[in-house]
Structure 1
Amino acid sequence: MKSKIASPMIGAELSASDDVVSFEARTYAKVARRLIPFLMLCYLGAYLDRVNVGFAKLQMLNDLRFSETVYGIGAGIFFLGYFLFEVPSNVILHKVGARNWLARIMLTWALISASFVFVKSPTVFYVLRFLLGVAEAGFAPGVILYLTYWFPAARRAKALSMFFMAIPLAGIVGGPLSGWIMHSFQGLHGLAGWKWLFMLEAVPSLVLGFAIILYLDNGIAGAKWLTDDEKALLKRNVDKDRTQTTEHVSIRGFIADRRLWLMAAIYFCVVLGQYGLTFWLPTIIRRTGVVDPLWVGILTAIPYICAIIALPLLGSSADKRRERRLHLAIPMLVSAAGFATLPMLGSVGASIVCVSVAAAGILASSSLFWALPTAVLGGMSAAAGIAAVNCFANLAGFFSPAIVGWLNDLTGKSTAGLLFISSAVVLGAVMVFFVPARTVNR
């Protein structure tokens, strides 16, 4: 009878292999714990200052006698400033380091956000929204680029999905907070509730801007909280990953890359849906019959709670299966169905369910998308490429509120605007399948 006792040599090799895998898992968990919660907190502040105009609208339009079109243009003009300064911002970050540059971005936008207390005319509103876009340009793509310094492509979808959980968190925290500020501070010291909203919600970004300088490291080499072995592992994986990415050797080659423009078009559709949700959600809730800003804020938190559940589940699934396209296209189609169904509903409960489906799908898509361009771009090309894709796609942030506001004024209801958003998201989902699977499924 043959012995079934395993060779000690084989057992030792298996044990060593298990130790390596365990060490790598522990190292990346350590990096994620150190970086992701803090970066989420910073992006939460950024996103709160970017979209709180959607709550301010509930009082500001009546106080200042602005039309829906004026609001839509003002909400969207933020992205023109964003568009013009985003690529230079990311290139500068890559050259000078993330710590000081991200701190500069946060401090600048905090001061401009607080300045909205002085808005009295459409012109001032437009100028401040444009300057806010200029100030914030480069933060989100800068963080995306920064995470490529730490995480290889195979681990990036989960890291990005965790970071982008800041968007639904901003809705969960920001909705009730914005509603409470406008409800409780209305008339205090002679100031309207929407003015208090802009002033108070700028404070967290101001504090976090200084915190970045003290807390954030520019890269693996400067991280004193890592051991030498952990640094070596992280650097080896990132360097290996970069050998599989595209390095453009000229500006002409960079611009001629059709994949870059295809991805920008896909993300344009995602962003159009994302800001169709964030800029108009309070208005959608109020049109169901909810009047008190406090209750509007509380109810807007529900769709974001659903999104925050969907984000990490889909990100982990995409990394585990090494599949990117279906994990992006399916949530986009689900979101489009939610937007298209919403105009048919009248009750508060049904509308919340429908908008929750739309929120979970579109916000998950906004993080899952970034596994595509970061899989094919590396080095300085990644710095410019990520910023370029985000830059052009975020022009949808201008067109979305402007077109929806115009359609709302033209028709007197929100049906046409929501169907427009739904159609654009479906178009983006179709374009996902034009990205070759072999280039992104890793």
Structure 2
Amino acid sequence: MDQAASLDLGARTAETNVYRKITWRIMPFIVVCYLVAYLDRVNVGFAKLQMMSDLGFSDAVYGFGAGVFFIGYFIFEVPSNLALHKLGARIWIARIMITWAIISALTLFVTTPIQFYAARFFLGLAEAGFSPGIMLYLTYWFPAKKRGFALGFYYIAIPLAGVVGGPVSGLILQYFDGSTVMKAWQWLFLLEAAPSLIAGVAVLYLMVDRPEQAKWLTDAEKAEVSAELRHEDGDKVVHATSMDFLKDVRIWKLSGVYFMTIIGLYGISFWLPSIVKESGIKDVATVGWLSAIPYLVAIPSIILTGISADRTRRRRAHFSAALAIGALGLALAGYVGQSPAAAVFWLSIGTAGMLSALSLFWGVPCAFLAGTSAAAGIATINCIGNLAGFVSPYMVGGLNVLTGNPAFGLYAVAACMLAGAILMRIIPASLGDR
């Protein structure tokens, strides 16, 4: 091996080592934070199993309440991400987590549809900015070529929330059934808010805003990461004016793709326990354990698709294929009827495909946006896309009431996901991605 080749190999090894160090220093804690965030967002899906009958809510009331979270989320999303960019992730993420933990716990006091809607709305307002804030935070630490794995690592939190949250939620509902203090679903909201509060306080002590502030990186490693990120940002878009930002068609197309993807995410998250129950399982603890299986299957799928997309630089192609497979799985999950094994199998295919696509999505806008444009662009796409969190549960709940057949709701969700897979393929590639 000649001297030039040896030096190049040494440089690549050093680069790999520094990003490996960053990954293992910041990503596990970020995953924990997102896990407890997502658990607080979707535990209403398990509370539904008892809360609806206790309070006399219909599927339509539940669907609207589950979805109105995203109206509050929409209102405060962009201002929240711009605040994070200005104030730093540590302060702002801690603020988000502590306030949403308090509001999630207060949901145990709802007794009427209006109170349920208000609790969900303010929960969305409190949580706005968390997910796009983390996306922005990762752009401070990882260049595009390393970000696919980091995003995949991050999105493992969603299936982990399902793996952990399903059995735990089912056991809480079972164990506290018959409690003389309050209903089991009320205990669910209270107990599952506690981890978010603890994690929010921990953020103040454990999170580091940027590489140059990390005491666990050497000066050479800080300089290497900062130089690579500055070099990459030089090839990205920083819009000169608000009008230039609004005229960037890619942002609006990606908002549409993300909207269709989130239709799938919350079609699964809010209704999966009900689908498992309606397949013939009546015991709530068993529903909880079976609901964890699709999320468990999704974990290796997320990791493998992220690695493959990074290596081939075909992120958009991987995204479209995964989302189409997810659509097929969900559609067939609605077709199987009274067969728990078949329902769980096809829900596993649908969940793995949808979550794998979701983990790849943010690599696309992050590949061409930088600085304030990245903060605003990520927040805008997430803001518009997450309106699907309102549309999806309300659409499924409305179709359930209208048709009396839950399969039609899943068919509608699958059709939206397929549309998102097709739309991604007509967005121009950037930074060598295909």
TM class by shorter chain equals over 0.9
Q: Is the 8 A contact 2:60 2:394 kept in 1?
A: yes
Deviation at 1:438, TM superposition (A): 4.1
Whole-angstrom CA distance in 1 between matches of 2:35 and 2:335: 32
TM-score by length of 2: 0.98
Whole-angstrom CA distance in 2 between matches of 1:259 and 1:17: 36
Cα 1:173/1:440, change in 2 over 3 Å: farther
* Match of residue 80, structure 1, among 60, 71, 86: 71
* Match of residue 31, structure 1, among 1, 18, 22: 22
| 1:179 maps onto 2:170 in alignment | yes
* Match of residue 322, structure 1, among 294, 313, 322: 313
Amino acid of the structure 2 residue aligned with 1:403? M
Q: Which moved more, 1:73-82 or 1:407-416?
A: 407-416
* Match of residue 100, structure 2, among 91, 105, 109: 109
Q: Which residue of 2 is the match for residue 392 of structure 1? A: 384
Q: Which residue of 2 is the match for residue 159 of structure 1? A: 150
Whole-angstrom CA distance in 1 between matches of 2:417 and 2:314: 20
Deviation at 1:440, TM superposition (A): 5.6
Q: Is the 8 A contact 2:260 2:420 kept in 1?
A: yes
* Match of residue 220, structure 2, among 193, 207, 229: 229
Amino acid of the structure 2 residue aligned with 1:434? I
TM-score by length of 1: 0.97
| 1:129 maps onto 2:120 in alignment | yes
Specify the structure having the higher radius of gyration (Cα). 1
Whole-angstrom CA distance in 2 between matches of 1:278 and 1:426: 18
Whole-angstrom CA distance in 2 between matches of 1:358 and 1:328: 14
| 1:349 maps onto 2:341 in alignment | yes
Deviation at 1:191, TM superposition (A): 1.0
| 1:310 maps onto 2:301 in alignment | yes
* Match of residue 377, structure 1, among 369, 381, 385: 369
Q: Which residue of 1 is the match for residue 407 of structure 2? A: 415
Q: Which residue of 2 is the match for residue 4 of structure 1? A: none
Q: Which residue of 2 is the match for residue 238 of structure 1? A: 229
Structure 1 vs Structure 2: percent identity of aligned residues? 48
Whole-angstrom CA distance in 1 between matches of 2:45 and 2:21: 37
Amino acid of the structure 2 residue aligned with 1:165? I
Q: Which residue of 2 is the match for residue 401 of structure 1? A: 393
RMSD, matched Cα: 1.0
What per-residue deviation string (whole Å, max 9, x for no partner) do you get for residues 85-144 of structure 1?
010000000001000000000000000000011010000000010000000000000000
Deviation at 1:367, TM superposition (A): 1.2
Amino acid of the structure 1 residue aligned with 2:367? A
Q: Is the 8 A contact 1:270 1:366 kept in 2?
A: yes
Q: Is the 8 A contact 1:74 1:129 kept in 2?
A: yes
Q: Is the 8 A contact 2:238 2:370 kept in 1?
A: yes
Whole-angstrom CA distance in 2 between matches of 1:437 and 1:108: 39
Q: Which residue of 2 is the match for residue 433 of structure 1? A: 425
Whole-angstrom CA distance in 2 between matches of 1:207 and 1:386: 27
Whole-angstrom CA distance in 1 between matches of 2:231 and 2:398: 49
Whole-angstrom CA distance in 2 between matches of 1:426 and 1:12: 51
Q: Which moved more, 1:219-228 or 1:16-25?
A: 16-25
Deviation at 1:203, TM superposition (A): 0.5
Amino acid of the structure 2 residue aligned with 1:289? G
* Match of residue 210, structure 1, among 173, 196, 201: 201
Structure 1 unmatched ranges of 5 or more = 1-9
What per-residue deviation string (whole Å, max 9, x for no partner) do you get for residues 329-369 of structure 1?
00011011111112221311011110000000001111101
Structure 2 unmatched ranges of 5 or more = none
Amino acid of the structure 2 residue aligned with 1:235? S
Q: Is the 8 A contact 2:368 2:430 kept in 1?
A: no
Amino acid of the structure 2 residue aligned with 1:400? S
Whole-angstrom CA distance in 2 between matches of 1:344 and 1:292: 22
Whole-angstrom CA distance in 1 between matches of 2:3 and 2:280: 68
Whole-angstrom CA distance in 2 between matches of 1:339 and 1:22: 42
Q: Which residue of 2 is the match for residue 92 of structure 1? A: 83
- Partner of 1:114: helix, strand, or coil? helix
Whole-angstrom CA distance in 2 between matches of 1:437 and 1:215: 37
